[in-house]
Amino acid sequence: MNIIHTKDYNNMSRKAAQYLLDKIKHKPDMTLGLATGGTPVKFYDYLVRDHQQQDTSYKNITTFNLDEYIGLDPKDTNSYHYYMNKHLFQQIDIPQEQTFIPNGLADNLLEECRQYEQTIDHHGGMDLQILGLGGNGHIGFNEPGTSFNQETHIVELAESTRQANARFFQDLNKVPTQAITMGIASIMKSKEILLLVSGEQKKEALHLLINGEVSTEFPASILKKHPHVTIIADEKALADIHSSYYA
């Protein structure tokens, strides 16, 4: 895993955007895996700013989001559909039919999972997957204990995840208890992975990822087995990592 040190959240976000824009320049029709949550918000801001100023086009890009809550309407302001439209899709030139997010309101959720994975495979998997890191080591909504062999599936959200995400809802009771998520196996199919980590609240998780064993109890640890992972992290998240580990 290649680790890039940045000064703060803003610098992490800018560096990550530059990293992706460079990839898009080389492959304007790439298939891109996207993440939601607090971490990538500014990264998306930088992509939008670049689109407005430099005219980078997303007309030939296809995107797959990692996950979506079960039971939330795409118009619900807490759904990841809403998040993606607001922070990225409505502000760039990507055709909506090239943006894929699991449907958390599907009548047949198992079938939705199966079709989502099939669509990913049909596109040959992701060229680059953007990831955030959960405080408990989750990637996507793959909570501790999830098998590394899982593809897109339904998950029960860990209590710590619901609590961490309650900041976006009116209260904890409104946070859904289930989600559809790409599995670890879906994520590992990506040719390349870019993990963004920011803030003191992630320093323990980042330390475990870099220094711990590969274990389903810490899902992100599987990334050590992937041949092409880049971590862009800020100083606070890297506080417990020896500087010999990063550039």
> Nearer to ligand PGA by C-beta: 38 or 125?
38
Shortest separation between residue 6's beta carbon and ligand PGA, angstroms: 16
Alpha-carbon distance 116 to 206, whole Å?
29
Contact yes or no for 4/233 (Cβ under 8 A): yes
Alpha-carbon distance 13 to 102, whole Å?
25
Shortest separation between residue 206's beta carbon and ligand PGA, angstroms: 12
138 catalytic? Reply is yes
108 catalytic? Reply is no
Shortest separation between residue 35's beta carbon and ligand PGA, angstroms: 7
Measured CA to CA in angstroms, residue 104 lies from 18, 41, 65, 114, 159 at distances of 32, 22, 12, 13, 19
5 catalytic? Reply is no
Alpha-carbon distance 18 to 24, whole Å?
10
Question: What is the distance of C-alpha 228 from the center of its chain?
Answer: 16
67: β partners: 181
Q: Which of 51, 65, 67, 234 is catalytic?
A: 67
Q: Which of 68, 143, 151, 234 is catalytic?
A: 143
Smallest CA-to-CA distance from 163 within 148, 174, 155 is with 174
Shortest separation between residue 157's beta carbon and ligand PGA, angstroms: 10
Residues binding ligand PGA (CB under 6 A): 37-39, 132-134, 138
> Nearer to ligand PGA by C-beta: 33 or 134?
134
Alpha-carbon distance 18 to 177, whole Å?
35
Alpha-carbon distance 135 to 11, whole Å?
21
123 catalytic? Reply is no
Shortest separation between residue 139's beta carbon and ligand PGA, angstroms: 7
Q: Which of 68, 81, 87, 136 is catalytic?
A: 136
Alpha-carbon distance 196 to 188, whole Å?
16
Active site residues: 67, 136, 138, 143
